[in-house]
Structure 1
Amino acid sequence: MSFVTIVFLILATWANSQAMSRSTLHENALIDMHEQWMARYERSYANKTVKNMRFDIFKDNMNYVEKFNKGANRSYELGINRFADLTDEEFLSHFTGYKQSPLVPTRSSGEYSSSFKYLNLTASEIPTSMNWRDKGAVTDVKDQRKCGCCWAFSTVAAVEGITQIKTGNLVSLSEQQLVDCSTENNGCNGGTMERAFEYIIKNQGITTETDYPYKERDDSICQTGTATVKISGYEKVPENSEEDLLKAVSMQPVSIGIEATKSLKLYKSGVFTGDDCGDDINHAVTFVGYGRSEEDGSKYWLAKNSWGEDWGENGYVKIMRDVESSQGVCGIATDASYPTV
């Protein structure tokens, strides 16, 4: 064996050992991060087998975040949050909940309008930016937790908003009433905002969160409570038009259907562009404003989510506005609606 060959083998062995050492250090760092994450979110597992399985999922999500954040020209950042030990399938089955029903809603009584009352708004009537939080029309971020009823939270946020705009009073309303009583929807197994609006109309109102608190389940008997807030109907924003959506959001918070994927699950901050989604709507949020990014001037929608204040930007996500696709980022322009009073 020649001297050159020996040197080559020594260097190759050294390089392999260094690579293994780095790999071990990285694995140990991930183990430490998982332990810290478990402590922060008060997570525990039944046994070591389950813990190892959840660690593998955590590791996959962590690697996804690291790889994404190293990419060039990113307008948003991902991060490890309380969903980090869930597979995408587990996350979607428990923490989303937009689900169209094959039933056709009854629209003969006039509660639904096929018109769009903001159609003729001119450019001069539409502010260049809007934040309904600053105008006192948005309650604190709520948390649907492990119940697929995003549709109820989106509905309630829109009704809370228009009520404050019309009356000056901001009242936190009951999502649980919709979960229990909006029978054309399916509680924690999904539903739509339109059917929730229809329930509120037919029930002649909805009660407060204080009187009918959220329970994170759908096995309770419907308790109608006092009809604190009423709406007269609801309208749909014309599909595939961010221009019309802008008109609506300039006037009131609007319920929105969106496709939630891994990147939204792990969203941390910035203007979200939905690199891994299309328009397969499975989740609902509420648009409560719009504006431009101070960092790069990109236009965005401001969406209130129902995953708690420790997700995203204190419970909110900025979503890229006026994109090339008529459907908008993750389909946000395909199913938007708002209550009328």
Structure 2
Amino acid sequence: MALSYFGSATLLLLLFLGLLSQAPVSIAAADDNLLLTFEKWMKDHSRVYPSAFEKQKRFEVFKSNFEYIESTKNIPGRTYTLGLNKFADLTNEEFVQQYATYRSQSRPKHSTPFKYANLTTVPTSIDWRTLGAVTPIKDQGNCGSCWAFSAVAAMEGINQIKTGQLISLSEQELVDCDRTCWGCSGGYEDYAFKWVLDNGGITTEANYPYTSGTGKKNQRCDSTKIGDYAVTITGYGYVTPYSESSLMSAVASQPISISIDAGGTDFQLYSNGIFTGTCGTSLNHAVLAVGYGTDNGTNYWIVKNSWSTGWGDSGYIKMQKDISNTAGLCGLAIEPSYPTK
């Protein structure tokens, strides 16, 4: 009897040790599978790290973001999804430091009536992309030039609406030459409009191509290209702040520059759907509202970003519209502005 008990105890111990020894193997296998996913992600996003140590560090961040994304997949009623986009190897702190650098502060603004204040009829939906007033998604790269991309996209839009010509304009001219802003360290869309107005126009992207996103930051202004105007504007204005209905009237008429709080983890890892995530109103990024619509009873804004097609829904995000907070989701209704022509 004692022998039988001893034998049973030994068997149980061996079984326990066997299960214990297999647990790390299962974890390691899961990590191996995720490592393969990471390697493919690196290839897809042309990511190369300077050392094995840095690669391991980035893999750990990637793993953490992957686990967070997985944890959100079964949240009831969620209208958007997250994904392993181009920012999946960055912590949220790193993401904010590199890509949410917009300078939001109280500053003098010229007094001008809101151009679309008396617009009484607006369409229930509009998408300026399908109407030919939006250039392809661009990439600001590792440079805080979102303000220039937002302003340029707005000018591209109003120029197409007024002339029928969609011309890709130069963000680099603004980054290099607009001394009222700070190049890769931030700026304001309305200041960019004023600079173009005072300068007499802005040149094309082809004539003055963007290079700041690849490490060549805050270069000298190329004076030989100043004066080679492709597009001019007649002025600029502001949408009535804290009013999504006013913003709707404006976007019904032309693409509008808006500023948002883009610093949240869900915004960083956004993939598709109508974004309803938690965010504040500390404006740190400039984008472009190019339309609006409704899906399954939820109203949304169509927003063009400047983080390449490797982020979001091929570079775009749908943001919930008509929320109870008058600032709009992520503060998008706080300080919209637009060029005139």
Sequence identity, in percent? 46
Amino acid across the alignment from 2:88: A
> What residue in structure 2 maps to residue 252 of structure 1?
254
- Matched residue, 2:89: 85
Aligned residue for 1:115? 113
Alignment of 1:114-263 (within 5 A): 114-122=112-120, 125-216=121-212, 217-223=217-223, 224-260=226-262, 261-263=264-266
- Describe the superposition over 1:58-115 as per-residue Cα deviations: whole angstroms up to 9, x where unpaired: 111111111122322210011001211122232223334321367x45x6xxxx4432
Deviates more, 1:70-79 or 1:9-18: 9-18
What RMSD, in angstroms, separates the aligned Cα atoms of the two structures?
A: 2.3
Seen in structure 2, the aligned counterparts of structure 1 residues 237 and 11 have a Cα distance that, compared at 3 Å, is farther
Cα contact 1:278–1:330 (8 A) shared by 2: yes
CA distance in 2, matches of 1:42, 1:228: 33
Q: Secondary structure at the match of 1:251?
A: coil
1:333, distance to aligned residue in structure 2 (A):
0.9
Closer, same or farther in 2 for the Cα pair 1:313/1:9, shift >3 Å?
same
Q: CA deviation at 1:49?
A: 1.4
Could you tell me which amino acid in structure 1 is paired with residue 266 of structure 2?
S
Give the CA deviation at 1:274: 2.4
CA gap 1:199/1:23 in 2 versus in 1, 3 angstroms:
same
Aligned residues: 330
Match of 2:38 among 34, 40, 43: 34
1:19/1:164 CA distance change after superposition, 3 Å: same
User: Is the partner of 1:58 in helix, strand or coil?
Assistant: helix
Q: Which residue of 1 aligns with 2:272?
A: 269
Match of 2:331 in 1: 331
Partner of 2:99: 95
The Cα shift of 1:264 comes to 1.4
TM-score (norm 2): 0.90
Higher mean Cα deviation, 66-75 or 151-160? Answer: 66-75
- What residue is the counterpart of 1:280 in the other structure? 282
Structure 1: which 5+ runs fail to align? none
How far apart in 2 are the matches of 1:81 and 1:39? Answer: 12
Structure 2's unaligned 5+ residue stretches are: none
Residue deviations 1:163-219, cap 9 Å, x none? 111111111111001101111111011111111111111111111111111112222
Distance 1:333 1:95 in 2: 20
- Structure 1 Cα separation of the partners of residues 186 and 40 of structure 2: 33
